[in-house]
Structure 1
């Protein structure tokens, strides 16, 4: 056992907690921390027997378990090739005849390990765990030298996944020593059923034959089972089962775990492993006469609200800096209302999977891909790693799906190869023999793990072969385009359809699910760093319209180095979606509710003032919690009238809530305001206690026929388009959203000439005030130097970084980082008001900036909006204007710049406007 001193020392190491809480022994030693390190660019280490050198022969220090390319390693050099690690350890395990194992979470790619100069084993593969028994080479007294040689050449056949954000090099998951008795439990697989039956397959390794007892104790001893076994030398497989009475099921809402121990005892002593399992069943099923399936959890449909997780950290790369970071990842997902995550093109670290189990989120785990030809060498190395991954992660109840390949990456035979075979006419060079290998891998995984959903290939090329779920990818921007695309996919999804399949294969009744979507690639040149909120709401609304679709994967959880479409920034800071401004209390989690109200209408419609409109509403239910009950749909039609919130109409509709899936609820018949307004239909579904189950909204740009606008406020109005200034003094100035918005960078001014009605039309002007919408203006590189479009080639897809400020579509979404300014209002040279402009925001509140985008596949400062500014002109100045009805209006910005929003941009349906009485 560890001494107190050893425990204290271990606590100072990075990642000091046990790496495998799903399979943990008490007697272990953490080897994370400082190791001696040396690159070997000329491959001289083996010839010079570096494995026999002491740590003094190494010229650097590295912090394990971080990739040598990452900042946290202390090396931070992204060089491929060979490197050596060495450290000395003095550790005397008890009892004296214990077996000692050296364990590695993962090392990329090929490695050999020596103890005191004696080779104890080799391993190939960058993602799977491995171990070596080092008992015979270990010295009970004094120091032991552990030496590791790693070679990572980025070969085409290597399973590398999507490492371009930050390369995995060398040791990148924890390393530890572990003590076991002469006979021990290698692993135990738990297969559970919701009736409480637990089937266990255990493998026992023994140095000699003998009798043993295998015991299971979980839930503080409430669940117990024992079986006697005769062990032979080597490996013995034992199968057994037991039943839990009234089992507590695992789900994201109630992540119940059966925590406890597996104990092997006999003449050799005891092997005690702390582990856990969750009782749950994953499946697919038809419901209520449908000819298609939904995904089920514990026998009931589950709507999968998910996100794509690159699982990348800016300092540790694919190794999380701490256990808290991994735990917080799951929390950050759940606070969004998500119930599942797709770990993208890599298996996740076991500690993070532990927190997924513990806190409750479903996991779709991808296998890492290779990037070369799918030849025999690539296939065999891939198959070896997939086996390691599935065996390692089998017991995690959070994992519901294995994805064998992604977007046909690694499955396309290069053109020069196909030209030799005469088969280059195959779509994407995805050849028939490769398709059959993919089918074989799907079937192999199903045989290895019949308890989970397996997908052959998560496709963007419509090329499934055989799969448990019929998923597809799309990156399309624009409401009409998204709506039409989903309509087409749904209409062409049925048993026997050839859509989304290749090689003569056709659809079964497998569940239809989106496995990648978002507005990052649906825009010419990529979306840059822009608002997600507007697109996200209508896309989620359109998903929930369709009864066949049972989930989605939004790209992605966090921003990464080349994609900025995350729910969060890369550092975990929040983005502001702005939904609460439309429906009080609404957050993004409302769009992920299992019981959801669908608004079957565009996100915004242009309508004439006073028009009657009809809004169809649907219900989408993937929970039976309220089935058979009556819920209340509370609605309000409201608008902002120059800073005053006005309720135009409101009501409550009782809704009989019963049955899974999508069905019509009601139609709301509304009369829109008789003035210019951005009108909002706000919805809230509540239960009998008044608890809100979900919220939603849609908007209307209500337009009067009056040239200067009609507003429910005393007086008359004169409006001037924001681009109609007579002079400006900014170093950089430009228009956007047509000419609906004008901006000036840095300090400067806009000057307007305002003409009021003459005295024959308006004899006396007694009061006057100026209204306008303005924000600060964060200056981007493209505003100064011009836009630069980077083609999204394969290197960019791998994760190559780019300066997003040059992207023509970039306009930063509202987040925690504010860019403030201040603006002063002058009338004929006298200051009449000053306003703080807290930020230069862009999110769903920029209704008009979104509604009047010229093109669906390009963004022109989309979603940007400002703050309503109202300056009252003093009476002495108004008196002067009674004699001279033409005056100069000057808007003078401080160093933070200014953006001015006109009638067809921003949040308020006004131009630069003067009200007078």
Structure 2
């Protein structure tokens, strides 16, 4: 860390670290922080010389580098148009005779810069980095005035990506000054090979001709390569190569970076740039006799467990408030067991890419898309911006793929403007000439970067033209539906197939991979804010069942403003998937292991007591770590007998773990418990040291058919939760087909209980009351009614999801709790109470998921409660022996209550009175 950064950090300057750590010089000055600012709604600033006239008032202060729409900017207004920035700076480099540059991480959309009243340059494009040489304008002694005019009009030709969550406007990435010698290294591209060969193409900008020496000094001088260079005035291209002995390869598991510097020395002095490279090769290859390819990393298959990242922050929007938060983003991905991320419809900030390089996660980086017609103006703007992105981010070892377009955004022509009418044109306006332009951009990207996988278009409309990977999107809910869809896609994927292609194009043997999936849009009106753990587990099983499939992208990493399907909340707090309740030690990371055990079964099946079930199993291996070893599958069939974990059966299967791909294993034949239960088949793949490699499970609703729906060893009266005598809540409702009863706020549910008469049971001794209950998080739809909202394309532009009114909303378990107290009274006399911690919803709500009547509508899906047991005091028992009737009151204090019956929640249990005589 240099002195400049330390000083600015002490002063509270936002983002004080060097913005581009992959290309860093020692002499620089951070221009982040407070600038004067004003809007220019009438576009009068240029005509009235705002760039020169220091007397013109800039009436606001703005915090750079935050978009003027964002809260952190201090402006916080979503105003499209023109904004002017001004700042006075006194700084000069320590080395005299240096050239001075002003550098911008990104400005949206067009930008003009003046230094001391003189125009330094213009730039167009909202995502690329750019710089201006300001040497001739800069005063080394005294103050310098920097003025920036940024204009963002949301033109149809602009590459805007998916900004609806919070608009990018004006300066939105860091700004800094940088000093260089008169002759300097403008850029260098590293191409690495796993045998240790490093090829470099460097561009040197020379003030005049002369001799120089270019040195590559990495890994503490253990890698030292120097070459003489004959320079001509202007730009010089230098090509060289060197060997790294015993190379340490970069991968998500071992993200080794060779850090060091490029040094250019000569009569002009020394230019030194700190940089790094990682040695890795990305490719595709067929293995064995397969007629299709897999994606490879360093020559070996890699299964890509990925997520879609909108890279959105609540206060900074698309600009992270701190470097620490970018670091933590990558950590939070790796914590889930993910090994790659797709940055959605935008290139990522270089600082975050640095942490992807450093911590180890593969990156699929999208080009930003425009929303208008693909006319000549849009094409030119797009091409310029795509080139800037690829050139800037070329050296990041984490990036393995460029995605040129997303979901045909910007590729469809308005039928009226195309001059074509009729049904065919209305159905598809992705015109043949546009398809050929996309093919051209795919091939263009391959020419300028042959080291990576290129995708023409990440499609939701089955409209590939030509691509290195064959991906597709789906948003489907329901086990049967997901299973059928994946089976269909896999069966239609083969060389020569026209499936997932447009315009007469056909598939090659390119790898098959999903590039967007999830249940947020697979549900009518959107999923609101609901549990995704249940859906996620069976979807992972279905993916890993198919040998052709080599990865997925789950939508999405974090919740955003109107999509609540993230692994994490928008603020980074966690969600509880509940898998550890089924298999001890299991987390979501167990679903992302390279070596995986597939349970080819529904997430839950209805089975009779003592019934037999066959569960097919498969092994999926995309790592050679355990090849040639003897592994074990340990399995256990168990159920929760009202708080007591009871194992029905267990066993061990010995495996010779060999080769890549998906292979069937022996099926398990299971005999179910002899009582109503939620039975769980839990499996663990274990290595020779006894360590769990991966865990998985599936469940069964075991039914006895007994009256009241629950078979037990003791005498019991079971009352359906909906059979209350009266209730006193202001708002009360049932859900999950009547199997769940809820009341909002303070109130009671009252049940009339009749015990066996004296002729049936002369004496009743111990009485126990059992039920499953949760606190009730009251939503707006519970008290005001639900609202069906058709998000449509508005969802892409940040439309309000009306989440509390969404009929599908039932908040997934997370770190926020909503406790309430539930008092239990018999004939008005309190016998105890329970503090219910929350109203959870996750994979533990097996029955609430299993009895959802429709796959694409959610009725408090996944919700469940806590097992409540309470013994009736002896004095009351004596009295009840006389009357044999009583009123059971479940009285909720503020917050409300939810009661779960036999076909809802976690336990197959109605409200139960257990007794013995």
Same fold (TM over 0.5): yes
2:136 & 2:341 partners in 1: Cα distance? 43
SS in 1 for 2:682: strand
Instruction: Map 1:348-747 to 2 at 5 A.
Output: 348-420=348-420, 425=425, 427-713=427-713, 715-747=714-746
Q: In 2, are the aligned partners of 1:337 and 1:588 still within 8 Å (CA)?
A: yes
1:869 & 1:913 partners in 2: Cα distance? 10
2:286 & 2:760 partners in 1: Cα distance? 72
Q: In 1, are the aligned partners of 2:356 and 2:398 still within 8 Å (CA)?
A: yes
Instruction: Map 1:792-803 to 2 at 5 A.
Output: 792-803=791-802
2:9 & 2:283 partners in 1: Cα distance? 46
1:55 & 1:639 partners in 2: Cα distance? 78
Moved more, 643-652 or 472-481: 643-652
Alignment deviations for residues 829-853 of structure 1 (CA, whole Å, 9 cap, x no partner): 2222211100010000000000000
1:708 & 1:647 partners in 2: Cα distance? 25
Q: In 1, are the aligned partners of 2:791 and 2:801 still within 8 Å (CA)?
A: no
Distance 1:3 1:248, change over 3 A: closer
Aligned position for 1:233: 233
Alignment deviations for residues 545-565 of structure 1 (CA, whole Å, 9 cap, x no partner): 000000000000000000000
2:362 & 2:378 partners in 1: Cα distance? 30
Aligned position for 2:873: 874
2:511 & 2:812 partners in 1: Cα distance? 34
Q: Does 1:125 align with 2:125?
A: yes
Q: In 1, are the aligned partners of 2:789 and 2:802 still within 8 Å (CA)?
A: no
Q: In 2, are the aligned partners of 1:106 and 1:171 still within 8 Å (CA)?
A: yes
Aligned position for 1:36: 36
1:3 & 1:600 partners in 2: Cα distance? 59
Q: Does 1:273 align with 2:273?
A: yes
Distance 1:8 1:166, change over 3 A: closer
Aligned position for 1:758: 757
1:478 & 1:21 partners in 2: Cα distance? 45
Deviation of 1:12 (Å): 2.8
1:684 & 1:276 partners in 2: Cα distance? 40
SS in 1 for 2:882: coil
Q: Does 1:768 align with 2:737?
A: no
SS in 1 for 2:428: helix
1:165 & 1:600 partners in 2: Cα distance? 38
Q: In 1, are the aligned partners of 2:326 and 2:352 still within 8 Å (CA)?
A: yes
Deviation of 1:390 (Å): 0.1
Aligned position for 2:90: 90
Deviation of 1:651 (Å): 1.6
1:709 & 1:672 partners in 2: Cα distance? 16
2:604 & 2:758 partners in 1: Cα distance? 41
Point out where structure 1 has 5 or more consecutive residues left out of the alignment. none
Q: Does 1:843 align with 2:850?
A: no
Aligned position for 1:145: 145
Q: Does 1:52 align with 2:52?
A: yes
SS in 1 for 2:501: coil
1:423 & 1:32 partners in 2: Cα distance? 54
Deviation of 1:647 (Å): 1.0
Alignment deviations for residues 107-126 of structure 1 (CA, whole Å, 9 cap, x no partner): 00111100000001000000
Q: Does 1:163 align with 2:163?
A: yes
Distance 1:10 1:746, change over 3 A: closer
Alignment deviations for residues 148-198 of structure 1 (CA, whole Å, 9 cap, x no partner): 011110000000000010000100000000011111111000000101111
Moved more, 612-621 or 114-123: 612-621
Deviation of 1:654 (Å): 1.1
SS in 2 for 1:236: strand
Deviation of 1:415 (Å): 2.4
Distance 1:889 1:193, change over 3 A: same
Deviation of 1:324 (Å): 0.1
Distance 1:6 1:140, change over 3 A: farther
Alignment deviations for residues 369-421 of structure 1 (CA, whole Å, 9 cap, x no partner): 00000000000000000000000000000000000000000101012213457
1:127 & 1:565 partners in 2: Cα distance? 27
Distance 1:641 1:196, change over 3 A: same
Aligned position for 2:833: 834
Deviation of 1:764 (Å): 2.3
2:682 & 2:711 partners in 1: Cα distance? 21
Alignment deviations for residues 247-275 of structure 1 (CA, whole Å, 9 cap, x no partner): 00000000000100001111111110000
SS in 2 for 1:447: helix
Alignment deviations for residues 6-40 of structure 1 (CA, whole Å, 9 cap, x no partner): 83577631000000110000010000000111111
Moved more, 853-862 or 204-213: 204-213
Deviation of 1:132 (Å): 0.3
Q: In 2, are the aligned partners of 1:415 and 1:424 still within 8 Å (CA)?
A: no
Alignment deviations for residues 585-614 of structure 1 (CA, whole Å, 9 cap, x no partner): 110000001110100100000000111211
SS in 2 for 1:498: coil
Moved more, 606-615 or 398-407: 606-615
Deviation of 1:755 (Å): 2.1
Aligned position for 1:865: 864
Distance 1:5 1:449, change over 3 A: closer
Q: How many pairs does the alignment contain?
A: 916
Q: In 2, are the aligned partners of 1:720 and 1:913 still within 8 Å (CA)?
A: yes
2:829 & 2:880 partners in 1: Cα distance? 13
Q: In 1, are the aligned partners of 2:187 and 2:203 still within 8 Å (CA)?
A: yes
Deviation of 1:767 (Å): 1.4
Q: In 2, are the aligned partners of 1:719 and 1:912 still within 8 Å (CA)?
A: yes
Q: In 1, are the aligned partners of 2:722 and 2:738 still within 8 Å (CA)?
A: yes
Q: In 2, are the aligned partners of 1:750 and 1:892 still within 8 Å (CA)?
A: yes
1:56 & 1:426 partners in 2: Cα distance? 52
Alignment deviations for residues 252-307 of structure 1 (CA, whole Å, 9 cap, x no partner): 00000010000111111111000001000000000011000000000000000000
SS in 1 for 2:708: coil
2:414 & 2:742 partners in 1: Cα distance? 49
Q: Does 1:134 align with 2:134?
A: yes
1:794 & 1:629 partners in 2: Cα distance? 51
Distance 1:44 1:423, change over 3 A: farther
Deviation of 1:424 (Å): 5.6
Distance 1:91 1:10, change over 3 A: farther
SS in 2 for 1:176: strand
1:327 & 1:544 partners in 2: Cα distance? 30
SS in 2 for 1:272: strand
Alignment deviations for residues 554-581 of structure 1 (CA, whole Å, 9 cap, x no partner): 0000000000000000000000000001
2:670 & 2:501 partners in 1: Cα distance? 45
Q: In 1, are the aligned partners of 2:5 and 2:16 still within 8 Å (CA)?
A: no
Q: In 2, are the aligned partners of 1:2 and 1:27 still within 8 Å (CA)?
A: no
Moved more, 747-756 or 115-124: 747-756
1:208 & 1:643 partners in 2: Cα distance? 82
Deviation of 1:55 (Å): 7.3
Q: In 1, are the aligned partners of 2:4 and 2:29 still within 8 Å (CA)?
A: no
2:316 & 2:149 partners in 1: Cα distance? 21
Alignment deviations for residues 769-803 of structure 1 (CA, whole Å, 9 cap, x no partner): 11100000011011111111211222222222332
Distance 1:274 1:639, change over 3 A: same
1:421 & 1:19 partners in 2: Cα distance? 50
Deviation of 1:3 (Å): 6.4
1:6 & 1:898 partners in 2: Cα distance? 54
Q: In 2, are the aligned partners of 1:423 and 1:431 still within 8 Å (CA)?
A: no
SS in 2 for 1:51: coil
CA RMSD of superposed structures (Å): 1.4
Deviation of 1:711 (Å): 4.3
1:154 & 1:413 partners in 2: Cα distance? 18
1:904 & 1:896 partners in 2: Cα distance? 24
Alignment deviations for residues 809-834 of structure 1 (CA, whole Å, 9 cap, x no partner): 00000000000011111122222221
Q: Does 1:853 align with 2:852?
A: yes
Instruction: Map 1:99-118 to 2 at 5 A.
Output: 99-118=99-118
